[in-house]
Amino acid sequence: MEIDKEISGPAGGGRPSPPGAGDGPASPIEFRLDPASGVPTYLQLVQQVEHALRLGYLKPGDQLPRVRDVVASLAINPNTVLKAYRELETKGLTAGRPGQGTFIEATLSQIALPQLAGLRRSLLGWLAAADAAGLDEDGIAALFTSVLRDFRERGGGPGNRRGVASGQGEGVA
Amino acid sequence: MNVIEASGLGKRYGSSWALRECTLAIPGGHLVALVGPNGAGKTTLLNLVVSLTTPTAGTVTVLGGARPGSLAALDGIAFVAQNAPLHKHLSVADMLHLTRNLNRRFDQGYARARLGELDIPLARKTGKLSGGQQAQLALTLALARRPRLLVLDEPMASLDPLARHNFLAAVMTAMADDGVSVVLSSHILLELERVADYLILLTSGSVQVAGAAGDLLASHRVLTGPAAEADRYAARLNVVHTRRGQAQAHLLIRTNGSASPVPSGWEAHPVSLEELVLAYLREPGAASLPGPGRTGHAEPTEVAH
């Protein structure tokens, strides 16, 4: 099996680590699995990294959880984690550093965290108003989707700004 | 390198065949789930691999051509039989001592460190350990031999969910650290779905399905559509199993890799490993084996999980 460059372990007899224990610098994120989602495990890992990038939990230079730590905490096949990390690398989001691990190269977040918090607050305010007006969750989702579509059609849409914003400069400060 | 290769392998006890016409080539670097109902021949196959029994027919080799029982095979394979076989009256330290002296290679430092991390006291009699601790001790003794192939026969049958998780995590960590290949038998498929990237389904002593999990999932689909048309399509498609209501039918089909067109009015869905295995179990006549047309894929490395 092709083992990730980061797993420097066995040569020095540095094993073992207890199940679930992490040594060394911790990654800003932890993976979790949703067995009911029907989404293949490797894809869940990919999506969670992308999600964390969008929300600013991960920024360029951050390290992803080490393969053996993911394997130890979730009890999943190391090939699965390697497949997810390969896919993230193919997408240009991460890069492997020999002997160290996998690190974030690009960002998907378009704005800084404080600004995100402000938008989140105003959206919560709007949701409270919708709720007070009697809209249920499905109604709110339908309205939001519909307005987003209108917004995009009027040319103000996010479509042209979507995508990988490369480079350290655009990371969350 | 194939960790296990069998050709026409069979084992007969008295007049009944526990395993017959078993032909397999399992590539290294995988966690192989060996699944099937009780009595399907799982333990017999594993016992042949670790030379606890000899074939009645055919041949089996391990670790790239070694004969089971040869020095290379004995050194390179660690086996944990059902119910974590330990001498219940011996202490943990005695078990370590015994195992070290029975094997040419044994990493005492690794074993002690691992037991320490698991809080398993060396002085305790193994029979007094919890089920989870006994399983972890048996696994530790096996891994300390630094095997290239780890064979586990129903290792988790008596464990609670947390102990199962910890056991699997330990196996997966060994795989990540040392690249050890693993063959694990179980009749509980669900818990293997996340860890196995290669599947062998044994039924009534024969191999019914074998292949990389990713390949198997990619080559099967469920088609859902009007029951009235099911028979018409069933004749054209490679249907493994049909479930049919008054109006609607589900066909689990094998696509053989080609992107087969979905008939209009029908929907195609991906399958889960469990759904796939259940479909084959319900249709003993169906089989999905690496055929002659797929020799180019003899060592698939893709995984689907």
pTM value surpassing 0.90? no
CA of A15 vs chain B CAs: smallest distance (Å): 7
Nearest CB neighbour to B110, from listed A16, A41, A67: A16
Q: Is B112 touching A (CB cutoff 8 A)?
A: no
Chain A residues touching residue B303 (CB < 8 angstroms): 42, 77, 79-80, 83
Nearest to A77 by CA among B24, B301, B210, B76: B301
Nearest CB neighbour to B173, from listed A2, A13, A19: A19
- B179: nearest CA in chain A? A1
Chain B residues touching residue A42 (CB < 8 angstroms): 303-305
Radius of gyration of chain A (CA): 20
Query: Strand runs (DSSP E) across B39-148, as ranges?
Result: 57-62, 77-80
pLDDT of residue B47: 94
pLDDT of residue A34: 87
pLDDT of residue B259: 61
- B300: nearest CA in chain A? A1
Cα distances (Å, whole numbers) of residue B157 to A81, B37, B40, B86, B277: 26, 14, 16, 16, 19
How much is the average pLDDT of A13-35? 63
Nearest to A56 by CA among A22, A86, A28: A28
Cα distances (Å, whole numbers) of residue B114 to B117, B120, B232: 5, 9, 59
How much is the average pLDDT of A129-141? 92
CA of A18 vs chain B CAs: smallest distance (Å): 5
Nearest to B203 by CA among B292, B276, B283: B283
CA of B116 vs chain A CAs: smallest distance (Å): 9
Total Cβ atoms within 10 A of residue B280: 23
Nearest CB neighbour to B176, from listed A20, A42, A67: A67
pLDDT of residue B291: 53
Between B131-143 and B92-102, two packed helices, what is the crossing angle to 10 degrees? 30
Task: Flag the least confident range among A33-42, A97-106, A120-129, A162-171.
Answer: A162-171
Q: Which of residues 209-228 of B touch A (CB under 8 A)?
A: none
Chain B residues touching residue A6 (CB < 8 angstroms): none
- A42: nearest CA in chain B? B305
Cα distances (Å, whole numbers) of residue B177 to A88, A144, B109, B276: 22, 48, 16, 31
Beta bridge partners of B226: B248
Beta bridge partners of B270: B221
DSSP annotation string for chain A: ----TT--GGGGT-----TT---SSPPS------GGG-S-HHHHHHHHHHHHHHTTSS-TTPBPPPHHHHHHHH---HHHHHHHHHHHHHTTSEEEETTTEEEE-EE---S-HHHHHHHHHHHHHHHHHHHHTT--HHHHHHHHHHHHHHHIIIII-SGGG-S-EESGGGS--
N residues, chain A: 173
Nearest to B122 by CA among B94, B83, B89: B94
Chain A residues touching residue B107 (CB < 8 angstroms): 13
How much is the average pLDDT of A140-151? 88
Beta carbons of A13 and B109 less than 8 Å apart:
yes
Chain A residues touching residue B197 (CB < 8 angstroms): 77, 79-80
Chain A residues touching residue B304 (CB < 8 angstroms): 40, 42
DSSP β-ladder status, B239-244 and B149-153: unpaired
pLDDT of residue B142: 95
State ipTM.
Answer: 0.78
Question: What are B181's two structure tokens?
Answer: 């290949």
Q: Is B299 touching A (CB cutoff 8 A)?
A: no
Q: Is B122 touching A (CB cutoff 8 A)?
A: no
Contact partners, residue A7, CB within 8 Å, separation at least 6: A66, A67, A68, B176, B177
| Spans of chain B below 50 pLDDT | 292-305
- A79: nearest CA in chain B? B303
pLDDT of residue B158: 79
Measured between its terminal Cα atoms, the distance across chain A in Å is 39
Tell me which of A77, A81, A83 to substitute to probe the interface with B (most B C-beta atoms closer than 10 Å): A77
Beta carbons of B169 and A9 less than 8 Å apart:
no
- Asked if residues B54 and B48 have their Cβ atoms less than 8 Å apart, the reply is yes
Distance CA(B58)–CA(B9), nearest Å, equals 4
Nearest to B176 by CA among A98, A68, A12: A68
pLDDT of residue B29: 93
Q: Is B214 exposed, middle or buried (0-12, 13-18, 19+ CB in 10 A)?
A: buried
Distance CA(B67)–CA(A158), nearest Å, equals 63
Distance CA(A116)–CA(A110), nearest Å, equals 9
Beta carbons of A16 and B30 less than 8 Å apart:
no
pLDDT of residue B5: 95
Beta carbons of B175 and A77 less than 8 Å apart:
yes
Contact partners, residue B281, CB within 8 Å, separation at least 6: B37, B201, B203
Q: Is A5 exposed, middle or buried (0-12, 13-18, 19+ CB in 10 A)?
A: middle
- Asked if residues A69 and A78 have their Cβ atoms less than 8 Å apart, the reply is no
Beta carbons of A77 and B168 less than 8 Å apart:
no
Q: Is B177 exposed, middle or buried (0-12, 13-18, 19+ CB in 10 A)?
A: buried
Q: Checking phi first, is residue A131 left (phi over 0); if not, alpha (psi -120 to 50) or beta? A: alpha
Give the mean pLDDT of chain A: 78
pLDDT of residue B295: 34
User: Amino acid letter at B58?
Assistant: G
The 8-class DSSP code of residue B293 comes to G
CA of B16 vs chain A CAs: smallest distance (Å): 37
CA of A121 vs chain B CAs: smallest distance (Å): 37
Q: Is B271 touching A (CB cutoff 8 A)?
A: no
Cα distances (Å, whole numbers) of residue A99 to A3, A96, B168: 11, 9, 26
Q: Under DSSP, is residue B126 helix (H, G, I), strand (E, B) or coil?
A: helix
pLDDT(A129) > 90: yes
Beta carbons of A20 and B169 less than 8 Å apart:
yes
Interface of A with B (CB under 8 A): 1-4, 7, 9-10, 13, 15-21, 33, 35, 38, 40-42, 67-68, 71-80, 83
pLDDT of residue B257: 59
Question: What are B126's two structure tokens?
Answer: 């193994």
CA of A93 vs chain B CAs: smallest distance (Å): 20
Instruction: Give the count of alpha carbons within 13 A of A16, CB side only.
Output: 29
pLDDT of residue B197: 92
